[in-house]
Structure 1
Amino acid sequence: MPTFPAAFQTLILPYAALFCKRVFTHAQLLPAGAILTPGKRTVTAALRIMGLAQHKAFHKYHRLLSHANWSALAASRLLLQQIVRLQADNQPIVVGIDETLERRWGHKIKARGIYRDAVRSSGSHFVKCSGLRWMSVMLLVKIPWADRIWALPFLTALAPSKGFYEDKKRQHKPLTEWAIGLLKLVKRWMGERKVIAVGDSGYAVLELLHQLSGQVALISRLRLDAALYEPAPPAAASKKGRKPLKGNRLPTLQAVSDDSKTAWQQATITDWYGGQTQQVSYCSQTAIWYHTGKPPVAIRWVLVKWQGKVAAFLCNDVTIDAVSILGYFVRRWSMETTFALVRAHLGVENQRQWSNKAISRTTPVLFGLFSLIVLLADELARQGLLEGQSSSWYHKSHLTFSDTLGCVRRHFWRQMHFQTSASGTDVVKLSAHQFSLWENALAWAA
């Protein structure tokens, strides 16, 4: 077993409580191997990069994902407790929630379905794809050394289609119920700390807003033609029958936007798309959002104009001001970046597992590996060891995730093989074993 860097051991040690001692020995090697492996993040690739290509008991590492008893939820809670330290204690916990499609084929992958491929589709072009649908919750926090809002995944759940449950006792859960369960779980983990969740227009659902009211503040887009009402008037004590749920109908947000008498305010939103600063005009009020047969929900709506565009947003916590709602919502755009990065740099969609348990564990682990790498990089930044690639023709003022991953890899190689070398030496001796590992990694990197 190789000697891991101290920063990695500090981060991985709390997870030892999830495994028995024998299994944890294998468990800590796989994430280290996944960090160092270029290309596909399979179990065998991790073993090769760690120098265990001739290990006879390689099947034990596969069984860690397919058979070993450990709780992925407990691991998610530990990871959340680690990444929340990247922000101040007096700030609310801002999380994003969204689903993504992992493209997978094969009749042995029972949870797969046919879904709309959001990456390849557009407003006029619809693309369907076979794969696994994942719902992920990410902490949206500003990383000082990157000077950007990054989305750090910590809780990812498989949300199969309705067809998956046709021959099973369990009933199908729509995405709304998955979101309610995951966000309530995050709130329970965070205790008294305020939790704010942001999602796209798919999460602007009355049942979801109603279930989370008083627990999680949910921010989402709102239709410009949504049915908004005044609060219900107080019912007379002598009046019998049902109490009113709403008051008079209010103008639609489209009508408010077109009205020349609407009073607009100006605001500057930082961390807009691309990390830019954006000037916007907005107006905001509170209202009751109601639809027949659905529970009424008190919301604060925010109507925004910028560069000729108009959009509306809502929040089920009316105490949050309009500018804060906009600032929280624009953080959501970093989630799409994370989805792209885990595919490009961490091997998501390259798995080869077929068992249900291994499939349900591998992708969430790779998503969590993204956050683990950021935590390792943050520790290196505190020690002044985090440096990106630079050249005479290009210098980066802030690091990207590819820079971060490269710095963490470089630190691993140095600590695992050169920790006994004297500082300031011109020549570093390289063992034949280590040279072989690097030779193979470079030769098959593509």
Structure 2
Amino acid sequence: MAKIDASSSTRTMEMWLLPFAAMFTQPSWLNAVALATGALLCLNRRTVCAALRAVDGGSDRGFSRFHRFLSRAEWSGLQGAKILLGLLQEAFVPEGEPLVIAVDDSVERRRGVRIRDKGIWRDAVRSSRGFFVKVAGLRWLSLQVMARPGFARRTWGLPFLTVLSRSEQTDARRTRRHQTLPEKATWAMRLVARWCPGRRLVMVGDGAYASLNVFWTLRDHAVCVARCRMDARFFNPPPPRKRGQKGRPRLVGTRQLTPRTRALRKATKWERMIIPGWRTKDGKAEREVDVVTGTALWSAHGKTMPVRWVLTRDPAGRAETRVFVCSDPGQSALQILTWYAMRWAVEPTFQEARRHLGFETQRQWSDRAIQRTTPLLLGLFSLVMLWAADLAARTGQLAMLGAAWYRKPDPTFVDCLAAVRRVLWTEEAVSPILWRDDYPTWRMRARTAENPRPLQQRLAELVSYAA
């Protein structure tokens, strides 16, 4: 366990990362602080060498210890995910409100013979319904807390747990038991339920997680909401058993109309609702939606559970008709659609992580380093949001990058990252983190014979090699 002396010489990054100090030994803790600082300050690629250059570590002969921090050091990513989830709850989820967790997957494009867990996946960004694009890489399952920071007016997706999902061919080649994406999501949500006893959980996912097995397994742990198929098979409750009737009691009654048939019927009575955050591509905070809802029994593979389905239709005809299913029949249609609308914040999170945190640019080859680096980058996204929210609470606002031709209504992730970088660069200008007296070093020459490079020189080098 790392022993941190919270003295006047303690860096801001150490204070921010202090909740995670118990995960590391003292040497690993110093390496973690330096790597986190360098990962936030460097540009373009998020490799270990790029992070060291950002903190003036180009002449450090002991650079291999930073690589070993990812590939060999003994620390638990699950313990870090638990700590991060607790920080997100404390900062953004008030007591008594449900913890809404969005579950989604993303493909990290990686190539190389030595990356053994890579597979061939469908590229959801480049593919369409009539055009299929395959990509080689790693598939990650990400669990994100849906929250609204105090400085924002929209919902943000804040990752806290990211696990690798291997293909069936990869598991067969490495003689491992294969787990599908819904099975991994079920395992992850049960883990979160153990981490948050007494907290009401809501899992929101797309059509890949509209599985009766998922809903059945999590029925005592979380409320599940997912987009369902338009030909889903729902049933009415069984009729009351007649007196003297023989045989086993019926589990389900007559089959209900499929959502597709119900949407086409003229006799269907639609109710217009205003859903906050529903398809706000034009900048609106809410939108009108025609809704039909009802309860049913979802039965398949010997399992039967009551659910509520919600059928939606766009009054303007710009969006397709969709149906959603919820494992809690007592929830209203407005609440179910509000929860699902929060899930759309997952995609901007993946996009911002690729654009500003170098997601897909890391170059580790060992299995352990690969399984640690991507979750660390996505977790760094949530940490930046936590630190930016704290800075905004202290100063009253966050500085936003604007121009005469464009005025931002709310801060974006790049504004949050810039606020954190200002604090880190201010300290780096006074004393680079790798040049501290209490930091172990293996430089080419003694400290007395070297001096840190001027900040202007370091910034010019970073900008010159940014592209």
Question: Normalization by structure 2: what TM-score?
Answer: 0.88
- Deviation per residue, 1:93-150 (Å, 9 max, x gap): 0010011100111111000011111111111110011100100000111123121111
DSSP 3-state at the match of 1:75: helix
What CA distance in whole angstroms lies between the structure 1 residues aligned with 2:358 and 2:9?
24
Between 384-393 and 294-303, the greater mean CA deviation after superposition: 384-393
What CA distance in whole angstroms lies between the structure 2 residues aligned with 1:65 and 1:208?
33
- Corresponding residue for 2:159? 153
Give the drift of 1:229: 0.5
- How large is the RMSD of aligned CA atoms in angstroms? 1.9
DSSP 3-state at the match of 2:321: strand
Q: Please, which of 27, 36, 42 is the counterpart of residue 41 of structure 2?
A: 36
Between 310-319 and 60-69, the greater mean CA deviation after superposition: 310-319
What CA distance in whole angstroms lies between the structure 2 residues aligned with 1:433 and 1:286?
68
Q: Please, which of 64, 72, 76 is the counterpart of residue 67 of structure 1?
A: 72
Consecutive unaligned residues of structure 1, counting only runs of 5 or more, are 420-430
Q: Please, which of 383, 386, 389 is the counterpart of residue 401 of structure 2?
A: 389
CA contact (8 A) 2:204 2:340 kept: yes
1:290 and 2:299 aligned: yes
What CA distance in whole angstroms lies between the structure 2 residues aligned with 1:192 and 1:229?
32
What CA distance in whole angstroms lies between the structure 1 residues aligned with 2:56 and 2:288?
54
- Corresponding residue for 2:214? 208
AA aligned to 2:410 is H
Matches within 5 A, 1:252-263: 252-263=258-269
- Corresponding residue for 2:137? 131
- Corresponding residue for 2:458? 437
What CA distance in whole angstroms lies between the structure 2 residues aligned with 1:144 and 1:347?
26
Between 150-159 and 406-415, the greater mean CA deviation after superposition: 406-415
Structure 1 pair 369–4 and aligned structure 2 pair: CA distance change class (3 A): farther
AA aligned to 2:307 is I
- Deviation per residue, 1:380-403 (Å, 9 max, x gap): 101126211233333323111112
DSSP 3-state at the match of 1:148: coil
Q: Percent identity?
A: 37
What CA distance in whole angstroms lies between the structure 2 residues aligned with 1:400 and 1:163?
40
1:406 and 2:426 aligned: no
What CA distance in whole angstroms lies between the structure 2 residues aligned with 1:300 and 1:4?
53
What CA distance in whole angstroms lies between the structure 1 residues aligned with 2:200 and 2:184?
21
- Corresponding residue for 1:347? 358
Between 214-223 and 167-176, the greater mean CA deviation after superposition: 167-176
Structure 1 pair 236–9 and aligned structure 2 pair: CA distance change class (3 A): farther
Matches within 5 A, 1:230-379: 230-235=236-241, 242-273=248-279, 274=281, 276=284, 277-291=286-300, 293-306=301-314, 307-308=316-317, 309-379=320-390
CA contact (8 A) 1:140 1:332 kept: yes
CA contact (8 A) 1:206 1:294 kept: no
Give the drift of 1:438: 1.0
CA contact (8 A) 1:99 1:134 kept: yes
What CA distance in whole angstroms lies between the structure 1 residues aligned with 2:243 and 2:118?
56
What CA distance in whole angstroms lies between the structure 1 residues aligned with 2:112 and 2:156?
34
AA aligned to 1:130 is A
Q: Please, which of 178, 182, 191 is the counterpart of residue 172 of structure 1?
A: 178
What CA distance in whole angstroms lies between the structure 1 residues aligned with 2:430 and 2:26?
28
Between 97-106 and 389-398, the greater mean CA deviation after superposition: 389-398
CA contact (8 A) 1:4 1:416 kept: no
CA contact (8 A) 1:92 1:195 kept: yes
What CA distance in whole angstroms lies between the structure 2 residues aligned with 1:404 and 1:108?
36
AA aligned to 1:62 is H
Structure 1 pair 53–3 and aligned structure 2 pair: CA distance change class (3 A): farther
Give the drift of 1:240: 6.1
Structure 1 pair 280–19 and aligned structure 2 pair: CA distance change class (3 A): same
Give the drift of 1:435: 2.0
What CA distance in whole angstroms lies between the structure 1 residues aligned with 2:383 and 2:329?
35
Give the drift of 1:436: 2.0
Structure 1 pair 407–237 and aligned structure 2 pair: CA distance change class (3 A): farther
Give the drift of 1:241: 5.1
What CA distance in whole angstroms lies between the structure 1 residues aligned with 2:384 and 2:156?
12
Aligned residues: 432
1:100 and 2:106 aligned: yes
CA contact (8 A) 2:236 2:297 kept: yes
What CA distance in whole angstroms lies between the structure 2 residues aligned with 1:266 and 1:347?
43
Give the drift of 1:305: 1.2
Structure 1 pair 168–237 and aligned structure 2 pair: CA distance change class (3 A): farther
DSSP 3-state at the match of 2:120: strand
1:143 and 2:149 aligned: yes
AA aligned to 1:443 is S
What CA distance in whole angstroms lies between the structure 1 residues aligned with 2:14 and 2:398?
18
What CA distance in whole angstroms lies between the structure 2 residues aligned with 1:235 and 1:260?
34
DSSP 3-state at the match of 1:391: coil
CA contact (8 A) 1:157 1:364 kept: yes
AA aligned to 2:417 is L
Structure 1 pair 113–268 and aligned structure 2 pair: CA distance change class (3 A): same
Question: Normalization by structure 1: what TM-score?
Answer: 0.92
Give the drift of 1:418: 5.4
Give the drift of 1:27: 1.0
